[in-house]
Amino acid sequence: MTAVEESAFGSVSNSVQHASTMVRDSVKTVIAASMVGTAIEFYDFYAYGTAAANYFPHVFFSDTTNPTVALLLSLVTFAVAFIARPVGSLIFGHFGDRLGRKTTLVVSLLTMGVATFLIGCIPGYNQWGLAAVALLCLCRFVQGIGLGGEWSGAALVATENAPANKRALYGSFPELGAPIGFFLSNGTFFLLEAFNDDAAMLSWGWRVPFLLSSVLVIIGLVVRVHMEETPIFRMAQERDEVVKAPLVEVFRKSWRQVLQATFLVAVTYTLFYTLATWSLAYGTKSTEQGGGGLGFTNQEYLLMLMVAICVFALFIVVGCLLADKYGRRRVLTFSSVALVVFAFAFPYLLMGEGKHDVLAVMTFLCVGFMLMGIAFGPIGAVLPELFDANVRYSGSGIGYNLAAIVGAAFVPTIATWLSSHWGVRAVGLYLGVMAVCCLISVLTCRETKDTDFTK
């Protein structure tokens, strides 16, 4: 090596060695601190998605005579939080890169938790009229603000405490919060619907999951208050590399990475809310109500979703192990191509109107969630690796939350409208377009597996 190469190599080696010797949280604490917030995040969103698909059309839009229009209006409120999320990522990203990951994560979790609890307290349209709808949208917006700072901070807690050769595996900790939150949310609705009739669920039952979220928030706050700041951020502080305006730095130096991050994640959002929210309404509602008339009850479909979510959790870990071994680009390229194929194949599994075809629907859900796990798992490492340490919270958060608008905000609404006008093949085409966008983004990204994460 030349003298310059030796000097650069020595600098990198010293940085990695210094980071490894700094005081850090135990693996158990890292898992708890990174996983609990995203579990709450996805619990809240799944609870809202389930309520928006099944209960809010009656509770908040009961004056609408057309059931399909009521469902569409209800699903539009679902999009409000996604629009707020990039705003939250700007706010919390700034403070996360300026003040540290720990404090920012505590505040974002508290913001998210209070808004979710209040959703469960709002009177229906019959009591408060349009004021009830306005309050629902306001709470949903605040919830989105809190969520905007959650995922990126949790991903940094995991990856900035990880050994260099296990960043994707550690990055799976916050990603596993997704199936955990989903399982808890759907399990709560499943149990409530098992012991209550439709009238009770419309009266008070739908509120219970939102009110119960306060328990998860308290647990999350206790864990996060007692965790350490990440060693990578402390190193940036020691080097005086913390920037005063991280947002300016991100958009000045890393705007291309923000776009890449957005489209890397967007397809996973589209796929998830196609599987979990749109398909729930499509499988349980008649064609007159905007569904597909597949003949399933809400409880039956929730049970199938809970089985399929276990496949999701398994393949998150599989995807991360493969990403650590073979590289991020190879795994994400495979998942993107496979999703294009799935997008054009799955409509044929959902065309059995009135047939109650459990095998076909379970195949759709399990294959979809398998590909979702492979695509979603490595994201916990890839997005932070695209950005420098002093703007990592902002950059990864902005990319991730812009993806929420591009890939998720209007997915249930668009998919419901497409399926009711042009059939389920149009929904497959929509997913296929998003998968192609992801593939293009993957192919334009550098491999980040061996990135010096201390820089």
Per-residue pLDDT reduced to its tens digit, 222-231: 888 888 877 8
Q: What does the pLDDT read at residue 44?
A: 84
The predicted model scores a pTM of 0.82
* Mean pLDDT for the chain overall: 85
Confidence grade of residue 7 (pLDDT, cut at 50, 70, 90): very low
Average the pLDDT over 316-337 and give the result.
95
pLDDT of residue 346: 92
pLDDT at 65: 60
Domain 25-444 in CATH 3.40.50.720? no
* pLDDT (tens digit per residue) in 355-410: 788 999 999 999 999 999 999 999 999 999 999 888 898 899 899 989 988 887 77
Query: Could you tell me the pLDDT band of residue 2, with boundaries at 50, 70 and 90?
Result: very low
Pairwise pLDDT comparison (239 vs 127), residue with the higher score = 127
Share of the chain above pLDDT 70, in %: 93
- Which range has highest mean pLDDT (6-15, 29-38, 295-304)? 295-304
Report the range of poorest mean pLDDT among 22-36, 263-277, 316-330, 351-365.
22-36
pLDDT reported for residue 133: 87
Residue 9: per-residue pLDDT: 37
pLDDT at 24: 57
The answer to whether residue 298 scores a pLDDT higher than 80 is: yes
As a whole number of angstroms, the distance between CA 233 and CA 123 comes to 44
Q: 315 falls in which pLDDT band (50, 70, 90)?
A: very high
Q: What is the mean pLDDT of residues 157-174?
A: 88
Q: Give CA–CA dist 172/380, Å, rounded.
A: 6
pLDDT at residue 356 in the model: 83
Give me the pLDDT at residue 393, please. 87
What was the pLDDT predicted at 13?
A: 44
Position 14 scores a pLDDT of 46
Residue 19: its pLDDT value, please? 46
**Is the separation of the CB atoms in 265 and 403 below 8 Å?**
yes
- At 342, is the pLDDT very low, low, confident or very high (cuts 50, 70, 90)? very high
Distances (CA, A) of 38 to 35, 45, 155, 157, 390: 6, 10, 9, 12, 23
pLDDT tens-place string over residues 181-223:
888 988 898 899 889 988 999 899 999 999 998 888 888 888 8
Rounded CA separation 22/228 (Å): 11
* Pair 378, 77: CB distance under 8 Å: no
Reduce the secondary structure of the chain to three states and give it as a string: CCHHHHHHHHHHHHHHHHHHHCCCCCHHHHHHHHHHHHHHHHHHHHHHHHHHHHCHHHHCCCCCCCHHHHHHHHHHHHHHHHHHHHHHHHHHHHHHHHCCHHHHHHHHHHHHHHHHHHHCCCCCHHHHCHHHHHHHHHHHHHHHHHHHCHHHHHHHHHHCCCCHHHHHHHHHHHHHHHHHHHHHHHHHHHHHHHHCCHHHHHHCHHHHHHHHHHHHHHHHHHHHHCCCCCHHHHHHHHCCCCCCCHHHHHHHHCHHHHHHHHHHHHHHHHHHHHHHHHHHHHHHCCHHHCCCCCCCCHHHHHHHHHHHHHHHHHHHHHHHHHHHHHCHHHHHHHHHHHHHHHHHHHHHHCCCCCCCCHHHHHHHHHHHHHHHHHHHCCHHHHHHHCCCHHHHHHHHHHHHHHHHHHHCCCHHHHHHHHHHHHCHHHHHHHHHHHHHHHHHHHHHCCCCCCCCCCC
User: Per-residue confidence at 63, pLDDT binned at 50, 70, 90?
Assistant: low
pLDDT of residue 64: 63
**Is 157 in contact with 34 (CB distance < 8 Å)?**
yes
